[in-house]
C-alpha cells in the first residue's frame, strides 16, 4: 500500500508538470504571435501571466519536498524526484524566455517589424514540439526519444545562425535598421535558449533512467 501511494504521488507530480509544460508552450506561441502582430497589450498580458507559471513551479517543488520528507525514496525513486525538480526549473526558465520575447514586443511598440517573420515562427514551433516531446519522454522514461529530441536542437541552432547572419546583413547595409534588427536577434536568441533548456531536460531523462551522465 505504501508503494502504491508513492507511485500515485509521483503520477500526480507528472500531471502537474505536463500542465506546466502546456502553459510554457502557450506562452512561447503567444509571445511570437504578439510580435508578429505588434500586439503590445497581448505582450503585457503574457508578462503578467508569467507569475502563474512561477507559482506552479514552487507548487511542484513543494510536492517533491513532501515526497522526500514522507516517502524516504531510494535509488531510482530518488533520481526521479530530483529529476522532477530539475525539469520544473528548466520549464520555469523557458517561461522567462517567453516573457523576454513579450518584453521585446513592448519595447518595439508600434514600430514596424524590420522584415516579415519566417524563421522565428519556425523556431517557436520547433521549440514547442521539443518541449511536448521531452515531457512525454520524461513520463514514459524513453531514453531513445530523449536522445532524438536532443538532436533536434541542431535544427534550432541552424535557424538561429541563419537569422543572425541575415539581420547582420541588414545592419551593415543600413545602420538605421540596427535597433529593429537587434530586437529580432534577441527574440531568436530567447528561442535558441529555450531549445537548450529542452536539451537539459533530455539529458536529465537519460540520467534518471540509466544513472549515466554525459561524461560516462
Q: For residue 51, what pLDDT is reported?
A: 96
Name the strand (E) or helix (H) holding 128.
helix 119-140
DSSP string, the chain: -HHHHHHHHHHHHHHHHHHHHHHHHHHHHHHHHHHHTT-HHHHHHHHHHHHHHHHHHHHHHHHHHHHHHHH---HHHHHHHHHHHHHHHHHHHHHHHHHHHHHHHHHHTTPPPSS--SHHHHHHHHHHHHHHHHHHHHHHT-HHHHHHHHHHHHHHHHHHHHHHHHHHHHHHH-GGGHHHHHHHHHHHHHHHHHHHHHHHHHHHHHHHHH---TT-
For 79, phi then psi, to 5°, come to -60, -35
Report yes or no: 18 and 138 within 8 Å, Cβ to Cβ: no
96 within domain boundaries: yes
How many domains, the chain? 1
The three cell numbers locating residue 125: 514551433
216 within domain boundaries: no
Q: For residue 214, what pLDDT is reported?
A: 55
122 within domain boundaries: yes
- How confident is the prediction along the chain (216 residues), in pLDDT tens digits per residue? 566 777 788 889 999 999 999 999 999 999 999 999 999 999 999 999 999 999 999 999 998 888 877 766 666 678 888 889 999 999 999 999 999 999 999 999 888 999 999 999 999 999 999 999 999 999 999 999 999 999 999 999 999 999 999 999 999 999 999 999 999 999 999 999 999 999 999 999 998 888 876 555
Q: For residue 114, what pLDDT is reported?
A: 95
Range of the domain at 27: 2-210
Strands of the chain (E only): list them.
none
Q: For residue 4, what pLDDT is reported?
A: 76
CATH, residue 106? 1.20.58.220
215 within domain boundaries: no
153 within domain boundaries: yes
114 within domain boundaries: yes
Amino acid at each position: 500500500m505504501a508503494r502504491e501511494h508513492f507511485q500515485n504521488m509521483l503520477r500526480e507530480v507528472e500531471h502537474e508538470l505536463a500542465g506546466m509544460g502546456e502553459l510554457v508552450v502557450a506562452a512561447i506561441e503567444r509571445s511570437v504571435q504578439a510580435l508578429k502582430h505588434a500586439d503590445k497589450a497581448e505582450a503585457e498580458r503574457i508578462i503578467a501571466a508569467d507569475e502563474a507559471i512561477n507559482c506552479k513551479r514552487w507548487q511542484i517543488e513543494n510536492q517533491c519536498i513532501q515526497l522526500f520528507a514522507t516517502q524516504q525514496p531510494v535509488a531510482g525513486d530518488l533520481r526521479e524526484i530530483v529529476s522532477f525538480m530539475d525539469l520544473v526549473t528548466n520549464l520555469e526558465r523557458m517561461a522567462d524566455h517567453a516573457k523576454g520575447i513579450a518584453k521585446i514586443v513592448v519595447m518595439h511598440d508600434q514600430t514596424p517589424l524590420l522584415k516579415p517573420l519566417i524563421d522565428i515562427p519556425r523556431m517557436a514551433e520547433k521549440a514547442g514540439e521539443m518541449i511536448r516531446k521531452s515531457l512525454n519522454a520524461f513520463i514514459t522514461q524513453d531514453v531513445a526519444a530523449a536522445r532524438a529530441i536532443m538532436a533536434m536542437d541542431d535544427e534550432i541552432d541552424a535557424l538561429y545562425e541563419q537569422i543572425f547572419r541575415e539581420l547582420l546583413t541588414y545592419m551593415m547595409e543600413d545602420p538605421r535598421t540596427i535597433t529593429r534588427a537587434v530586437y529580432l536577434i534577441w527574440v531568436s536568441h530567447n528561442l535558441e535558449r529555450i531549445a537548450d533548456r529542452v536539451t537539459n531536460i533530455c539529458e536529465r531523462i537519460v540520467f534518471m533512467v540509466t544513472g549515466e551522465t554525459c561524461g560516462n
